[in-house]
Structure 1
Amino acid sequence: MTTTDRASGALLLRQLREGRGWSWADLARALRDIARQLTVASLMNRQVASIQRTVARWESVTDRTSPGDRYQFLLAQLYARTPAGDLAIGPGSDFATLLDALRHLGTPPERVRQLVELVGRSGRGDNGDLLMPLSPGTQSTIAAIQRNPSELDHEVVRQLHESVTAINGLVGTTPFVRLQLQLAPIVDSCRRLVKLHQADSQQELLLLATVAYSLAGRLAFETRDDEAAMALYADATRTAGHLADRSHRAAVQTSHTMVTLHATDDLEAARTIARAATVDAHRGPSYAIRARAHAVHAEICARAGQANEAAAALGRAWKTVEQLTVDDPHGGFNADRLNGFDGLCALHAGDAGHAHDNLDRSLSALRLSRDAVQRGIVSTDLALARLRLGGPAACVDLLHEAVDITASTGGRVAAQRIRLTRRNLRPWRTEDFFAELDDHIHDTLIGR
């Protein structure tokens, strides 16, 4: 992003605000009102002064802060309608000007297209399409819960749980901010229900809340709202602590470990959560969760340079994988996934050959649409292994694939690793393949 791009984008954002006759505080209140309408939990209760400071940074030429995914969507919803409330998204509209501003600020074309799609859907369906895949029955259930949380039975919980599962199944194929909006009313319903029925300690409800909070934490991380992510994982961990099956809390903690690592780079904090996950995993019946917990712990140790500890944790993970059963209710983690962890640990240990073989096996198995985010991550790790083996051109070939996957999924971890691998390619910066990779990254990922 150039200074001229930054200046142009900031100026357009200021002109949009002033064109509506708004101060920074006015725009902050408008954004919070829309967040409340759409149940964007991380913003709906935020102080106006806090949002106002964020708005001011967007309009600063010297501050490099730009609207993130959630704010981009809220701004799009705001400027897609005239002050009279009419939808206006064509040439010359405030919405079109907003898209120009975001382009100047580095938002990639794919993201701009997603905003147009999201606004078009909400405009046609009065936000109803944004709540898909929630069935009409589930939407009615949520509305009923919001009116009277005392209405709780098995069918209510079942419908909400099915909706959470459906939303989770769309990860990798649907923009994270849209999934966040779909999940938000369910999270809000869970909070209402758990608060009211806390004395009942209903395991089914607690499990629903645990899964919903954990997924919401993952989505908040992907949309770069790390503060909300940490709070949601804390809620998920606390709620899971009331479940009889400790595998559920271990599952939350393994995800929390990786989010903590990639959001903060705090290895010690991540290690603390990873250790707790292994303890809980061995108190529960799921071998899949035990294997994942050991694999996550191994990665943290490898990143910390503790090769022996990482090898021991991997050994426990492989031994546990051998005990997996087809009826494991927490299934999903298997040898194919473990190969990815094993390969990454080998990369950190300096064994590029072993890393390449394991990562290649893992990548070959990640073929389903729901594997797209993970495929982007493993692709970048495998690319780095190829570079370590002396194949910079082969590394770049695979990175091009990883860039396309990451542009499609919006995966934050894969984007981080692409940047890392690109830095390792700097000795070849005079080569044509390096320039082509840079162009590809700039065209599809810059601004994410």
Structure 2
Amino acid sequence: MTAHDRRVGAATLKRLRLSRCWSLADTARAIIDAASRLGQPLGSSVPSVQRSVARWESPTAPIMPGERYQLLLAHIYADGSDGQHSLGRGSDFAELLDALAHLGESERRLHELRALLVRTATDAGGGLLALLGPTTQRAMTAALAEPSHVDKELLSGMRAAIGDVNGQVGSIPFVRLQLLLAPVVECCRRVLAGAVPAPLLPDLRSIAAEAYTLAGRLAFETRDDEASRALYSAATDTAGRIGNPWRRAIVHMSHALVTLYTTPGIDAARNLVDAAVRDARAGASIAVRARAHALQAEIASRAGAQRHAQAALSLAWFDMEGDQDGDPSAISFSPAHLRGFDGLCELYVGDPAVAHDAFARSAHALTTQRDRVQRTIVTTDQALARIRLGDPHSAADLLHQCIDGASSAGGRVATIRLRRARHELRPWRTEGFVADLDDHLIGTLGA
């Protein structure tokens, strides 16, 4: 961070304080009260904390609040003037995170703060509008009353809220993410049925397709398969009206993965993947095309079609290695993800040793918070490769890690894959190491 960045951070902290008409002493008292309310009393006097606040806001040599003070400030500024949690763009909480970033705090720490406050906001089912900033909430209320009042600011706020929910996958329980996404989904449904200004309709449809797709995935994760199917149907219809085929391809791909685990056989999932490939090839996104071909390779390998799987996988790598500058899609699909598909194809129709190494490389590169669910899935597949290589003890050791990962990050697919891996350990079911694994599975996941 430069000296200028730190001064911007200090000025933002000061602006936040003054926006609430607080003196330095008032802020110190608010921090001490928050600490007591959270069961973490500071044991510091108001003058002592006041001096810390002044150092954070210093125009010449500001310092960054320590982690404990960051947490207390986060709780203070997450509470809006109406007593409700507000974490979205334009909120005081968002301004606080921006200030901390300017002062030099890491992106990982800021993500942890956001995740913690999202959990707090959704305790006991509350915080329904937490990820919608105050301005977006007002604009949404106006648009629900009269769809012609939809404006670019509302659309921007809704898109940001979807991104926030998507970014918390792996950090926040899926049922809480459903709560946070619900207002955006409902707003899209009701506003699209009204007289939206024509110039804004393409953006609104794009946002709605994204919201419905994510909501369909969240419904699947919470085992509401009927709602999931209805949401994917709405997403497919809406995306088809946008005019950019790659957007519908994204819906088909997400729907295919859900269908693979909720419908017997692979025909229904294969039809969706084939539709995704057709749309992706007609679209402008190389990243979407790469992912569609990767899914096509997985489906083919599950069906035992080795040549078809390898051909699709080669196309995926060709796409992945192409020039993606300016790609219109923001989907997260990287070489690390594609190596996982390399592993799957080898696992089903190739060499389990090659599969094992591909899974290991993929898991090692999936390092972000958002990748936690996928990393658990890939590592479970790696354990399955070890079983097929005749190394059940080492596989069980890896599965213990996967159980912990599935417990902390959630994910229905990860749990299903864990059960399948355990099924392949049946020849060793009388061994103590399998009994230990079963105890861990039942005690942690109830499975």
Give TM-score, length-normalised by structure 2: 0.70
Question: Is residue 261 of structure 2 the alignment partner of residue 262 of structure 1?
Answer: yes
Paired letter, 2:153: E
Task: Tell me if the contact between 1:297 and 1:313 (Cα under 8 Å) persists in the aligned partners.
Answer: yes
The 5 A counterparts of 1:10-21 are none
Unaligned runs of 5+ in 2: 1-117
- Shift, 1:183, TM fit: 0.7
Shift of 1:410: 1.9
* 1:356 and 1:386 in contact (8 A); partners too: yes
**Map of 2:244 onto structure 1:** 245
Partner of 1:320: 319
Contact 2:284 2:328 in 1 (8 A): no
Look up the match of 1:191.
189
Map 1:39-118; keep pairs closer than 5 Å: none
Are 1:429 and 2:429 an aligned pair?
Answer: yes
1:229 maps to 2:210: no
| Correspondence 1:141 to 2:139 | yes
Shift of 1:118: 7.0
Point out where structure 1 has 5 or more consecutive residues left out of the alignment.
Answer: 1-116
Q: CA deviation at 1:146?
A: 2.8
| Alignment partners' CA distance in 2, 1:122 and 1:354 | 45
Secondary structure of 1:131's match? coil
1:325 Cα offset (Å): 1.9
Per the alignment, do residues 149 and 218 of structure 1 end up closer, same or farther by CA in structure 2, a change over 3 Å counting? same
Provide the rounded CA distance (Å) in 2 between the counterparts of 1:192 and 1:360: 46
Deviation at 1:369, TM superposition (A): 0.6
> Which structure carries more relative contact order (alpha carbon 8 Å, separation 6+)?
1
Q: 2-side partners of 1:128 and 1:138: how far apart? A: 18
CA distance in 1, matches of 2:227, 2:184: 16
Distance 1:278 1:433 in 2: 43
Letter in 2 for 1:441: L
Deviation per CA, 1:286-321: give whole Å up to 9, x if none.
111000000111111111122221111111111111
Cα 1:300–1:199 shift into 2, 3 Å:
farther
Are the equivalent residues in 2 in contact too, given 1:217–1:233 (CA < 8 A)? Answer: yes
Q: Output the amino acid matched with 1:148.
A: E
| Contact 1:246 1:284 (8 Å CA) reproduced | yes
Equivalent residues of 1:294, 1:317 under 8 A apart: yes
1:299 corresponds to which residue?
298
Is this contact kept in 2: 1:250–1:281, CA < 8 A?
yes
Q: Aligned residue for 1:399? A: 399
Following the alignment from structure 1 to structure 2, what is the Cα–Cα distance between the partners of residues 150 and 412?
40
Per-residue Cα deviation, 1:73-116 (whole angstroms, up to 9, x for no partner): xxxxxxxxxxxxxxxxxxxxxxxxxxxxxxxxxxxxxxxxxxxx
What's the C-alpha RMSD, in Å, of the aligned pairs?
2.0
Residues 1:444 and 2:444 are matched in the alignment: yes
Secondary structure (helix, strand or coil) at the match of 2:171 reads coil
Q: Distance in 1 between matches of 2:325 and 2:359?
A: 24
Name the SS for the 2:242 alignment partner.
coil
Cα deviation, 1:237-286, whole Å, max 9, x if unaligned, reads 11111123211111111111111111113311111111110011011111
Question: What percent identity do the matched residue pairs reach?
Answer: 49
| Alpha-carbon distance between aligned partners in 1 of 2:362 and 2:264, rounded to the nearest angstrom | 25
User: Taking structure 1 as reference, are residues 314 and 197 closer, same or farther at Cα in structure 2, changes over 3 Å only?
Assistant: farther
Is the Cα–Cα contact under 8 Å of residues 148 and 196 in structure 2 kept in the other structure? Answer: no
Partner of 2:149: helix, strand, or coil? coil
Cα separation, 2, equivalents of 1:422 and 1:433: 12
Write the distance in 1 (CA, Å) between the matches of 2:187 and 2:259.
26
Distance 1:148 1:266, change over 3 A: farther
Shift of 1:438: 0.8
Q: Find out whether 1:165 has 2:176 as its counterpart.
A: no
Give how far 1:149 is off: 2.6
Structure 1 CA distance for aligned equivalents of residues 335 and 193 of structure 2: 40
CA-CA distance at 1:385 after TM superposition: 0.6
Query: Separation in 1 of the partners of 2:437 and 2:143?
Result: 51
Larger Rg: 2
What CA distance in whole angstroms lies between the structure 2 residues aligned with 1:135 and 1:161? Answer: 12
Structure 2 residue identity aligned to 1:438: D
Matches within 5 A, 1:324-403: 324-331=323-330, 332-403=332-403
Q: Work out the CA distance in 1 between the residues paired with 2:195 and 2:204.
A: 9
Conserved? CA contact 1:130–1:178, under 8 Å: no
Report how many aligned residue pairs link the two structures: 329
In structure 2, the residue corresponding to 1:224 is in which secondary structure?
coil
Write the distance in 2 (CA, Å) between the matches of 1:384 and 1:401.
Answer: 13
Contact map agreement 2:148 2:194 (CA 8 A) in 1: yes
Secondary structure in 2 aligned to 1:129?
coil
- Residue 275 of structure 2 corresponds to which residue in structure 1? 276
Determine if contact 1:180/1:216 at 8 Å carries over to the other structure. Answer: yes
Q: How far did residue 199 of structure 1 move? A: 8.3
SS in structure 2 of the partner of residue 413 of structure 1 = helix
Matched, 1:181 2:179: yes
Aligned equivalents of 1:119, 1:340: Cα separation in 2: 34
* 2:356 partner SS: helix
| Aligned residue number for residue 91 of structure 2 | none
Deviations 1:108-128 (A, max 9, x none): xxxxxxxxx9799556xxx65
Q: 2:128, 2:183 within 8 Å by CA — same for their partners in 1?
A: no
Kept after mapping to 1: 8 A contact 2:213/2:235: yes
CA distance in 1: counterparts of 2:289 and 2:195, whole angstroms: 31
Contact 1:403 1:440 in 2 (8 A): yes
* Amino acid of the structure 2 residue aligned with 1:269: A
Q: Which letter does structure 2 place at the counterpart of 1:153?
A: D
Deviates more, 1:156-165 or 1:136-145: 136-145
Matched, 1:211 2:217: no
Distance 1:230 1:121 in 2: 25
- Structure 2 CA distance for partners of 1:288 and 1:120, relative to 1, 3 Å: closer
Q: Is the 8 A contact 1:118 1:130 kept in 2?
A: no
What is the alpha-carbon distance in structure 1 between the residues aligned to residue 195 and residue 351 of structure 2? 53
Higher mean Cα deviation, 289-298 or 299-308?
A: 299-308
Instruction: Mark the CA change 1:446 to 1:324 in structure 2 (over 3 Å): closer, same or farther.
Output: farther
The one-letter amino acid of 2:433's match is: F
Are 1:260 and 1:266, in contact at CA under 8 Å, matched by a contact in 2?
Answer: no
- Matched residue SS, 2:419: helix
